Amino acid sequence: MGLQGVSRNKPPMIKPLLMALIDTHKFECVQMLLDAGARIDVYEWIGEESGEEENEESEETKNEEISFQYSVAGRSPLHAFVLAVYEEAEEREKEGRGGEGEDLGDRVDEKKRDALKLSLLPNRRIAPLSKERGCARWKVRTEACRFLIEVLDTYSVYREELKSTDKTALDLACLCGEADIARGLMEVEEADRVRPEEQHLTLLAVVGGMLRSDETCLSVLQLLADKRADFTRAGLGDFSHSPLSLACEWALEKSAEFLLSKGVAVGGVAGKNGESRFLWLRHRRLIPISLPFCFGGVQTLTRLASL
């Protein structure tokens, strides 16, 4: 594809044609390139201003082009595909697709696009090719992924958890609330359970619930439960949040109820200061369900009531 120009909020980058087509959601063209043998073990490369010493500004040097070094690896095609599916879903939700005023032709076009995306889903095309080429578990740095930067800017209080580690395609799928893609990635990896080093996926799913919806968060949590994730081993750094306390704080009612049904204790993971986060219950319906977990069971509640 070659060099992409500089814009106000976007650094220059060198991007393979396959990724450029994924980013513009041209899935039919993506299919054709894959059929033609396009390489999938590639990165986009992001430009940084070269570290050359600046000369004193003059009228001549003011108009000189800035020199960039393309040494920062960005996303792979697998990362880009996960984010492209998320972007389309987000766009549809914003536009309220499926309403009474929608044209029949638009619905037909959407069905065609959905069929194309299904044919590219990780368990069918992109992830198997990535695994074959040894790049299925490649990670993208937070600063090299515009989506992650936007999430950090929006939810800066959770910056530590999101920025602490680089993200795999599976991490992005959980963060984006894309349970089908996450399932496909796990199928390709032939993973019957969540690995110990992947216990952070639970927190990413709950943060994703803030981005998308309670329903999408729940679908990812259900998948992780099927894969025997240990919900009690996920914590959020200095802020002492457990998945449950975070779900309650952000009013993800269905997700909180699901976590409670799995026996997740409140504040199950202490932060670096040794403290645990108490529930902030925005929904009254959660109070009778969660109190036994907060105070150690019904017997404790009975004793408290008698005081």
Q: Please give the pLDDT value at position 1.
A: 53
Q: Please give the pLDDT value at position 145.
A: 80
Q: Please give the pLDDT value at position 266.
A: 59
Total-model pTM:
0.76
Residues of the chain short of pLDDT 50, as ranges, are 2-3, 5-8, 53-55, 97, 99-108, 268, 271, 276-278, 280-284, 293, 295-307
pLDDT tens track for 7-34:
445 667 788 999 999 999 888 898 889 9
Q: Please give the pLDDT value at position 219.
A: 96
pLDDT tens track for 161-170:
565 678 899 9
Contact between 242 and 276 (Cβ < 8 Å): yes
pLDDT tens track for 218-242:
999 999 999 988 877 665 555 556 7
Q: Please give the pLDDT value at position 144.
A: 77
Contact between 220 and 205 (Cβ < 8 Å): yes
Q: Please give the pLDDT value at position 230.
A: 81
Q: Please give the pLDDT value at position 82.
A: 92
Q: Please give the pLDDT value at position 143.
A: 74
Q: Please give the pLDDT value at position 78.
A: 93
